[in-house]
Amino acid sequence: MAAPLISPSILSADFAQLGEEVRAIDAAGADWIHIDVMDGHFVPNLTIGPGVVKALRPHSAKPFDVHLMVSPVDIYLEAFAAAGADIITVHPESGPHVHRTVQAIRTLGKKAGIALNPGTPAKMLDYLIDEIDLVLVMSVNPGFGGQSFIASQLRKIEAIRKMIEKSGRAIHLEVDGGIDAVTARQCTSAGADVLVAGTATFKGGAGRYAANIAVLKGVD
């Protein structure tokens, strides 16, 4: 099994020095940079807007993996694309026409992802799978870092891996929430190839980031 890509969530970084934190995880071996955008409405927390994404863009050349937890979402796609997002992931519940939202992301020249909440079935992907570049399985309810992994999502990861294989398309299968050394292994065994990790990346401070990422990749 290939080592997963690691996309550290900067939600767990020191917000007083975000640029330095992004440079530190880049140097420590992060593959992507996961940016959690929350609107205080779709989820009960407020975080980052396109201005911050733009300000961070010069600090890393790695893909910006932007997870939008915003409703309605369509009106913000262009701003995040212009700010430097490479992958834009949306929740099907965050607008009335998810297929149109995916088309809009791709028209902007960005990769499109669909995020599935723990209660949202894999079946939601049936008529989207041919249009998307990434599926994000939420293994916690979105809104906060530091929550416990919901084990029932492993079955969903397995089911989606089968759907992706059947589609014959190159679609990333990413998991977000409660990832640690143990759950990372469970997710990759179930078929995930990208892991988001906030708490597990940033714990212990900058001196630990490389070791923390190596543990998640399984090369410790």
Q: Catalogue the active-site residues.
A: 36, 176
Tell me the C-alpha to C-alpha distance, in Å, between residue 84 and each of 148, 171, 174, 179, 198: 31, 21, 20, 26, 21
For ligand DX5, the closer of residues 31 and 176 by Cβ is: 176
Task: Work out how close the CB of 89 gets to Zn ion at its nearest, in angstroms, rounded to a whole number.
Answer: 8
Task: Work out how close the CB of 219 gets to Zn ion at its nearest, in angstroms, rounded to a whole number.
Answer: 23
Restricting to residues 126-165, name those near Zn ion by CB under 5 A: none
Task: Work out how close the CB of 40 gets to ligand DX5 at its nearest, in angstroms, rounded to a whole number.
Answer: 13
Distance separating alpha carbons of residues 142 and 176, to the nearest angstrom: 9
Q: State which residue has the least CB distance to ligand DX5.
A: 198
Binding residues (CB under 6 A) for ligand DX5: these are 9, 11-12, 34, 36, 67, 140, 142-143, 145-147, 176-179, 196-200
Q: Is 39 among the residues that bind Zn ion (CB under 5 A)? A: no
For Zn ion, the closer of residues 102 and 138 by Cβ is: 138
Find the length of the chain. Answer: 220
Helix (H) / strand (E) containing 213: helix 209-217
Among 176, 191, 209, 217, binds Zn ion (CB under 5 A): 176
Q: Helices 181-190 and 209-217 meet at what angle, rounded to 10?
A: 40
What are 135's strand-pairing partners? Answer: 114, 173
